[in-house]
Amino acid sequence: MRLNRATLLVIFFLVTAGTVEAGIFKSSSVTVQVKAKTVSCEPRIEWPAPSINQKKYISPGDDYCATLSSAQPGDEIIFAQGTYTSPCRFSPNGEPARPIYIRSAFSELSKRAKFSCSGCSGVSNFFEVGGSYLVIKDLYFVNNDADIMVRFLAAHHVILENTQMENIDGQAITANSGNTDSLIIRENKIFNINYTATYFGCHDGSCKSTNLLIEGNYLDASAINNSSITGYAMEIKLNSYGTIRDNSFFNGQGPALMVYGNNDANAPANIIEGNYLERSRNDAALNIGGGPALVRNNVIVNQSGTALFAQNYGGRGLQRKISIVSNTIVSSSGTAIMVQGWSAGAGNVVSGNAIYSATPYSPSPIGATLADNVVCGASSGCFMGSAATSPYNLSPQAGGPLASVIPATGYPQYDFFGNSRAANQPGALITDSGTSGLSLTYLQARPPRLKRCF
């Protein structure tokens, strides 16, 4: 995670005998105090609260677009309960120490401001958001047929959180109209949507979204049923990058999640961490269209198709610097890991994974450093519960093939739930008394991480 100036204004670190790597503190004794709450490992990014003297209240029927467009640093714009039907384009600029907050008066879903428009067919974007240092939260987009609910223009340092989008005859969130930077998309819930739900960057790489943090979202693409489109839950386009962690992605018509890689082999990697991905109807649950990419601590399930596909998309030749480590990958009657265009010397690694599949790898050999993976079958006793049918309990079975320590190096320090890996066990989950009874259920969000340790 990259800590920006706004983060540092509200975070106080007490660190002993520690080191700093890419903004993450690693130490045997770390205390992080965030707004009087003490957590370990990595704090949640929070920005300074709005000024108590700059609250602006909006009711249905008000010209809320004028209020949003004229917002000043430190403003808090509060939408009363009710329905709002007018699209709006706004680009106000907050400041790191004085962001602009835009929120519903209530976070409870039944009392939130609703943004609905049954006559918006042909309207490109319901919200067009530019500007910087904005926090948009607790909104509810429902029964809306605009093409896109929230489209980011040339925006930077914007948080969109705890917003629900459902019954949408369009897309939920896009950022493909100019470069964007440092967008935080977290804890949103998106379902019953008819087109690719979320889309960051331009397909040809001509615009890009950089330093993304996409965290704790729920995306169900089951309602996409249109043979003229691919239909993803999320795609991160060419030359865009960020951290995608602790999300739940389900049932894409195409991939549930796809990242396309970067023309620059030395660009920051897409980090795909701690996600629960299940099912694609026509592709893989996770598609890595290019590197650099680090795929770790994910649970990836596609029972009758390919679970993870490293695709040489468009023949771009970007299949390099891809590390697939410490994941639990399940495909009962399909392929766990399929690769395309891999060659020795490209820096690709597949290590420390727990694989439950009829076909672990395709092709085999796959043209990568391959080490310390454990392939499980129905009778191998790898897991505490079923890997073939939901709900899944994919924690290692005591005494089974996944319970043993393997000599891999470079494995993650923590597992899918934030448990410390005192020793390396293959797969996303380790044996731990606090989490070994937790299950993953299709179309239900992954259980929360016990600690913010990655």
> For 187-191, what is the mean pLDDT?
98
Task: Give the torsion through C-alpha atoms of 394, 400, 403, 407, to 10 deg.
Answer: -120
CA distance 329 to 324: 10
Q: What is residue 409's predicted lDDT score, i.e. its pLDDT?
A: 62
- Look at 238 and 8; give whichever has higher pLDDT: 238
Per-residue pLDDT reduced to its tens digit, 94-104: 999 999 999 99
Q: What is the mean pLDDT of the chain?
A: 89
81 pLDDT band, cuts 50/70/90, is very high
CA distance 327 to 376: 13
Handedness of CA 180, 247, 3, 129 (dihedral sign): positive
249 pLDDT band, cuts 50/70/90, is very high
Per-residue pLDDT reduced to its tens digit, 35-65: 223 335 889 999 999 888 899 999 999 999 9
Per-residue pLDDT reduced to its tens digit, 431-454: 888 898 899 999 999 999 998 999
> 7 pLDDT exceeds 70?
no
Token pair, residue 285, equals 């649950």
Residue among 319, 300, 318, 204 at smallest CA distance from 252 = 300
Residue among 375, 402, 378 at smallest CA distance from 388 = 378
Residue among 26, 39, 43, 18 at smallest CA distance from 414 = 26
Q: What is residue 10's predicted lDDT score, i.e. its pLDDT?
A: 31
403 pLDDT band, cuts 50/70/90, is confident
Q: What is residue 327's predicted lDDT score, i.e. its pLDDT?
A: 97
Q: Which amino acid, residue 397?
A: Q
Q: What is residue 364's predicted lDDT score, i.e. its pLDDT?
A: 87
Q: What is residue 34's predicted lDDT score, i.e. its pLDDT?
A: 25
Q: What is residue 13's predicted lDDT score, i.e. its pLDDT?
A: 24
Q: What is residue 24's predicted lDDT score, i.e. its pLDDT?
A: 26
> 25 pLDDT exceeds 80?
no
Percentage of residues in the chain having pLDDT higher than 90: 79
Q: What is residue 407's predicted lDDT score, i.e. its pLDDT?
A: 67
Q: What is residue 37's predicted lDDT score, i.e. its pLDDT?
A: 31
